[in-house]
Amino acid sequence: MAGIDWRPTLVTRLRDRFLEQRAAEAHRHLEDDLRMLWREACTGVGLCHYVHVAAGTTIRTPRFGGLRHGDGLVFSTELLPGQEPDDLRAQATRLAHTLGAHGLRVEPLAGRWVRIVLLQSDPLTARVPLPELPLAHGAGRMVLGRGEDGTAITHRLTGPAHLAVQGQNGSGKSVFTYGLLAQLCAAPDVLITGSDITGLVLGRAFDGTAHRDLQATGTRDLLEHAAMLDRLVAEMDHRLDAMPARQDAVTASEWTPLVLVVLEEFPGLLRAAQARDKKLAERITSAVLRLVSEGRKAAFRVLMLAQRFEANAVGGGYARDQFALRLSFRVPADSLAMLHGDDARPLGPAHANAAPGIAYLSGPGHDCTRLRAPYLGGYGEYCDRLARHARRASGETWADWIEVA
C-alpha cells in the first residue's frame, strides 16, 4: 500500500531494540559488579571455605546465582555446605554496606538457595501504619512493628507468651499499647481487662464497651485493683477445675474468651499499695504471680508495662522470668540487659538514645530484633478507634457471669 509511511514504525522498533540492548548490557555489568562485591564481602566477614590444594589456597564463597529484574536489587545465592540463612543474617549489616546498601533481607528459596534483597534505606525511619480494621479473632496476627530487614513482625495472642514492655517516658511505650489494644478490641473471643493507675490506657477509653467491667483505674480506690485481680484469679481457677479430661489447655471462644490482663505502670501500683498497706501490696503481687505462672493454660495472657523491669518493682525475678515476649523502648543500657539478657548488652549504649517508637524485641521466634512500632495516630485516634470498633456492652456482661459461676 503505497500511501502508508512505514518509516516511523521502523524507527520506533529500532529505537526500542536499541534501548533493550542497552538495558540488557547495563544489567550484565551490574550483575558482574555485584558478583565481585558479593565474593569480596563474604570473604571479608568469613562466610567462606578455604580449600588447600597443591597449587595453593582456593577461597569458596556462597555462589552468586543471578540478578533479578524489577524494582530494587534482588539476587539469589547458594549457601556453602553447612551454612544456614541465619549465618548471612548475622552479618547482614556488614555485607550490605560492602554492597553499597543500608541493609539486606535473607529469604529462603529451596535447598541451599536463598534470595538476597538489598535495602537502600533504613526501614526503621519510616512510620508504620496500623490496619484500619481490627482483628476478627484472638488468633489473628497482631502487628508489633517493622523489623530492620523491612518485614512485618507479628504475634498471635493465643501463642504461649506473656508480654513485657518497658520504656522511659516519651519512648513510645504507651502509643505501642494503644495500637495493640485497638487491634484486639473487636475480637469476640478476647476480653481486655486489667489495672491502670493512669486511667488512660484502660478506663474511660473503654466506657460503654464489653471490656470495661473488669478494669480498675486510678489510685483513689486501690482495693478495687486488688478485687479485680482476685476475680480474675478466681475465674482462672474455675477454668482449670472445669477442664475436661485429656485436655491441658483452654481453647478461647466467644463463651470462654481469652483474657488479656493489662497492667499499666504496675510498679507504680505496687508502690502506691505499699505506701497505704503492705498487706494490700502483697495481695496484689500474689494475684499477679498466679496469673503469670498459671494463666497460660486457662487462656489468660498478661501484658505488663513498666519504665524499668527491675525485679523488686514487678513482683520479683520469678515474675519477670514468666514473660516470654519482651520489648524495650528507649531505656538505659543496664535496663536493656536486665530484661533481655547479656546478648542485648552490646546494643545498650546505642539503644539508650533510640528515637521514639524504636524497640528491641526478644521472644519465641525473635532473637534480639530491633523494630519500629506501629503509629496509631495519637491518643485521640485511639479513643476514636475504640468507639468505632470495640465490642459494646449489651445485657448481662461476662463479668456478671463469672460472679455467678
pLDDT in tens, 251-297: 889 999 999 999 999 999 999 999 998 999 999 999 999 999 999 99
Q: For residue 292, give every residue at least 6 positions away whose Cβ sits within 8 Å of its Cβ, in sequence order, or none.
A: 162, 302, 304, 319, 322, 323
In a domain, 109, yes or no: yes
Domain count, the chain: 2
In a domain, 12, yes or no: no
Residues 233 and 102 placed together within one structural domain of the fold: no
Query: Tens digits of per-residue pLDDT, 192-225?
Result: 999 999 989 998 889 999 999 999 999 999 999 9
Residues 115 and 158 placed together within one structural domain of the fold: no
Residues 229 and 97 placed together within one structural domain of the fold: no
- Identify the domain boundary among 88, 104, 121: 121
In a domain, 38, yes or no: no
- Identify the domain boundary among 73, 89, 121: 121
Domain of residue 186 covers 128-404
In a domain, 309, yes or no: yes
Tens of pLDDT along the chain (405 residues) come to: 556 655 567 667 777 777 777 777 777 888 888 899 999 999 999 999 988 878 878 889 999 988 886 656 889 999 999 999 989 988 988 999 998 888 888 888 888 999 998 888 888 888 888 988 899 999 999 999 998 888 899 999 998 889 999 999 999 999 999 999 999 999 999 999 999 999 899 988 899 999 999 999 999 999 999 999 999 999 999 999 998 888 888 888 999 999 999 999 999 999 999 999 899 999 999 999 999 999 999 999 999 999 999 888 888 888 899 999 999 999 998 999 899 988 888 888 888 888 999 999 998 877 778 899 999 888 999 999 999 999 987 755 555 545 544
Residues 382 and 343 placed together within one structural domain of the fold: yes
Residues 271 and 305 placed together within one structural domain of the fold: yes
Name the CA dihedral angle for 354, 356, 362, 366, rounded to a multiple of 10 degrees.
-100
Residues 222 and 279 placed together within one structural domain of the fold: yes
Residues 246 and 316 placed together within one structural domain of the fold: yes
Among 111, 114, 184, 181, residue whose Cα is nearest residue 149:
114
Q: For residue 340, give every residue at least 6 positions away whose Cβ sits within 8 Å of its Cβ, in sequence order, or none.
A: 326, 328, 360, 362, 368
Residues 62 and 209 placed together within one structural domain of the fold: no
State the Cα–Cα distance between residues 156 and 348, nearest whole angstrom: 28
Burial-class residue 401 by CB neighbours within 10 Å (0-12, 13-18, 19+): exposed
Residues 206 and 323 placed together within one structural domain of the fold: yes
Name the CA dihedral angle for 288, 290, 294, 299, rounded to a multiple of 10 degrees.
-40
- Identify the domain boundary among 90, 121, 152: 121
In a domain, 240, yes or no: yes
CATH number at residue 341: 3.40.50.300
In a domain, 268, yes or no: yes
In a domain, 233, yes or no: yes
Q: Any bridge partners for residue 366, and if so which?
A: 363
Binding-site residue positions: 167-174
Burial-class residue 4 by CB neighbours within 10 Å (0-12, 13-18, 19+): exposed
Binding-site residue positions for ATP: 167-174
In a domain, 80, yes or no: yes
State the Cα–Cα distance between residues 330 and 145, nearest whole angstrom: 15
Residues 82 and 212 placed together within one structural domain of the fold: no
CB 291 within 8 A of CB 232: yes
- Find cell 512505514 and name the residue: 6
Residues 171 and 59 placed together within one structural domain of the fold: no
